[in-house]
A and B are shown apart, each in its own frame.
Chain A
Amino acid sequence: MSKQMTGARMVIQALKDQGVEVVFGYPGGAVLPIYDEIFQQNDIRHVLVRHEQGAVHMAEGYARSTGKPGVALVTSGPGATNAVTGLTDALMDSIPIVVLTGQVPTFMIGTDGFQEADTVGITRPCTKMNWLVKDTAKLAETIHQAFHVATHGRPGPVLIDIPKDVQFATADYVPAEKAKIGHYQPRTEGDPDQIARLVEMMENAERPILYTGGGVINSGPRASALLRELAAETGFPVTSTLMGLGSYPASGKNWLGMLGMHGLYEANLAMHGCDLMINIGARFDDRITGRVKDFSPRSKKAHIDIDPSSINKVIHVDVPIVGDVTRVLEELLRQWRARGSRTEKAGLAKWWKQIDEWRAVRCLNYKPSASTIKPQYALERLEALTKGMDRYITTEVGQHQMWAAQFLGFEDPNRWMTSGGLGTMGYGLPASIGVQIAHPEALVINVAGEASWLMNMQEMGTAMQFRAPVKQFILNNERLGMVRQWQELLHGERYSSSWSESLPDFVKLAEAFGCKGIKVDHPKDLDDAILEMIRYDGPVIFDCLVEKHENCFPMIPSGKPHNEMLLSADAEAFRSGAVLV
């Protein structure tokens, strides 16, 4: 027997049926009926944000750190348009989120009503799918379908636009198990014949590399476990994109570090010089490939991806395998083991010797300083003092983000949340709150640049209100550091608008929000300050004044191939001795 209820109640009921525990949102006229329902129940927690962009990034942080879809609720018009950046971010990084927007009543749509915006029109290119629900009878089913779409196949953001009269009207509630989820059932099993071809290549490869990405993490913890088995049993080296960090442990024997524009020397040269590249859930992004024409010129390439459109989009591959990473790795390991777990041992040994020579370049070396805090040093100390803790890291976008990826070690998946594809400054603070709400007891740190951090700093209010003890670790170089670096290296040192003028006093700002502010500007005080931050039971704004003109190396200038990497001056000294492929 079905139950009659209002559309607004249906929204809550459907979220409960989907196992949602928390919604990040902001009210307004067009969602008042839903907020009225939120008020009258206790199962779903509502986190009131300070800006709708914050709500969507929080939902992303929640999703990325739990593997469950994140949910945001915003009003029509400006509420919806403020959500656009977060939706695009989630689309680029394949993060499953469900965004509910209010809309003017159906009879008013198209009349330029107050706070009317063509939300489904605006968000069509930045959602995996979106729906305008004009009939209450279809609302519950659409919500169930939305969760299915967000979490199946390549995950991504979905949006449901709900006019106010649809929220008020009543209809029969369609429970999740009765809802038609449609025909959307992406393929998860890889083609066994293609997998067999890859197995054969693995047996003969002399210079193989596992190039892993965010897809391993999206596929779930089992995928990371299988990747570890694969690396351990084959002895193949492993590198990862920014999005995939943690799927293979940083302490692992086969770990080469991150690859790409600011990736490690050994990782990029191994990509360039390999004879077999196995791409597992990565997408040959331009920050990875550099100049496409010269990308890994002598390798056979296999690509495992759940999204068929990722295959051959940028780089033409020899072995395409469409499927879920977990399922494909299971089958790959099964076949390879069944044939005797063979690898080309002599070739591999030579390959590792080569890699060790590249490693000896120590590409992350930087010039230490006794008087100024180097950003790399700050991260090394943060790493040392938080190692082994139940730790989650988010970041903003810029140099600090790349240094965090280089200098922090991730042992497990879902511990590293960063805006990769879109590169959204202002992502890290709200994302850290989303993570903390999901993991109340954990240590959640947002590694930030001062400029990015200001973009969504209003969310400190959210952190205070909901007792999310997030640590805002700001590497303050008083510069739009990454922009400044490009201007220095590529635009004749003309520093056009790339410094942070009129910065607030971050300690006073912390006091104004009612949280703790810590400022440190000398290396000798750093450890104590970090420990104070970790121990403080509440949100902290940590203002770490660092070297203003430090550059992030290695760097492959965009459009250059992997073997034309710039190293820091220190690493440069070693360069002449290194073998360039």
Chain B
Amino acid sequence: MSALNIKKGSTSHSAYDLRSALSEVEESHTLAVIVENEPGVLARVIGLFSGRGYNIDSLTVAEVDHTGHRSRITVVTRGTPAVIDQIEAQLSRMVPVYAVHDLTAEGPSVQRELALVKVQGRGEHRIEALRLAEIFRANVVDSTLESFVFEMTGTPDKIDAFAELMRPLGLAEIARTGVAALSRGI
């Protein structure tokens, strides 16, 4: 079941409630968790996921408010609607957590990931790699006669697709940041 694009709590009987919490179908959700930037807080959040058997598909963290000492953790997780609700509730009740946003449930969001992709090859393969990189709007950030490092941003799917295309052309290594996400609009 796909999540409804209606902000949670936007009406008194939010359409969010229409999503059956009893569905057994797993959904992927992107959560933004705003936390106090103190030692141990990330470990506490991650410990919750491992301790209670929840999935982490992607995770990014950085301090986003230096004066307020707040970090934003973006987690991509998977689970049935009941599990997703439970993850949100478990995160929200943590002492160092200020807020939890289920970006997938709250409405449209922008999701971006950055990847560095090293491709090794010569001749035709090298030219083909460059051509594809252009289509994907990847930049060359390092090159030798036998290799490129491409930098690209996009949705995780786009990066997956790019990596797939690079594989036969000499994909050597890939580093990805994990997803950063924001809700669209105001």
Chain A interface residues toward B at CB < 8 A: 120-121, 124-125, 128-132, 149, 153-154, 182-184, 186, 193, 307-309, 311-313, 316
Contact = CB atoms under 8 A, between A and B. Distances in A.
A313 B36 CA distance: 26
8 contacts: A124-B40, A124-B47, A132-B40, A149-B95, A186-B93, A309-B93, A311-B89, A313-B86
A316 B22 contact: yes
B85 interface: yes
B12 interface: yes
Interface in B44-94: 44, 47, 51, 82, 85-86, 89-90, 92-93
A309 B40 contact: no
Given A312-B82, A316-B22, A132 B89 contact: no
Contacts of A131: 40
B21 A316 contact: yes
**Which of B85, B86, B90, B93 is packed against the most chain A CB atoms within 10 Å?**
B93
Contacts of A182: 36, 95
B96 A132 contact: no
B185 interface: no
B46 to A, nearest CB: 10
A308 B93 CA distance: 7
Contacts of B36: 182
Contact of A308 (B21, B44, B89, B96): B89
B95 A184 contact: yes
Contacts of B40: 120, 124, 130-132
B93 A307 contact: yes
Contacts of B39: 132
Contacts of B135: none
A237 B57 CA distance: 47
A124 B82 contact: no
B145 interface: no
Contacts of A129: 95-96
Contacts of B98: 183
Nearest to B12: A193
A149 B95 CA distance: 8
Contacts, number: 44
Interface string B85-123: 110011011011010000000000000000000000000
Contacts of B12: 193
Contacts of A308: 89, 92-93
Interface in B131-163: none
A268 B30 CA distance: 41
B175 interface: no
A124 B96 contact: no
A316 B89 contact: no
Given A311-B89, A312-B82, A124 B95 contact: no
Given A125-B51, A131-B40, A309-B86, 9 more contacts: A121-B43, A124-B47, A132-B40, A153-B93, A182-B36, A182-B95, A312-B86, A312-B89, A316-B22
B177 to A, nearest CB: 26
Contact of A128 (B82, B85, B89, B95): B95
A124 B43 contact: yes
A102 to B, nearest CB: 18
A121 B51 CA distance: 13
B174 to A, nearest CB: 31
A205 B47 CA distance: 42
Interface in B1-47: 12, 21-22, 36, 39-40, 43-44, 47
**Which of B36, B85, B89, B98 is packed against the most chain A CB atoms within 10 Å?**
B89
A125 B89 CA distance: 17
Contacts of B22: 316
A215 to B, nearest CB: 14
Contacts of A128: 95
Given A186-B93, A308-B93, A309-B89, A316 B44 contact: no
Contacts of A125: 47, 51
A154 B36 CA distance: 20
A243 B168 CA distance: 63
Contacts of B85: 312
Contacts of A313: 86, 89
Contact of B90 (A121, A153, A309): A309
A313 B84 CA distance: 11
Contacts of A132: 39-40
Contacts of B47: 124-125
Given A149-B95, A153-B93, A184-B95, A312 B21 contact: yes
A128 B89 CA distance: 15
**Which of B51, B89, B95 is packed against the most chain A CB atoms within 10 Å?**
B95
B82 to A, nearest CB: 6
A165 B85 CA distance: 44
Contacts of A309: 86, 89-90, 92-93
B159 to A, nearest CB: 33
Nearest to A145: B95
A312 B90 CA distance: 12
Contacts of A121: 43
B33 to A, nearest CB: 14
A166 to B, nearest CB: 14
B71 to A, nearest CB: 14
A128 B95 CA distance: 8
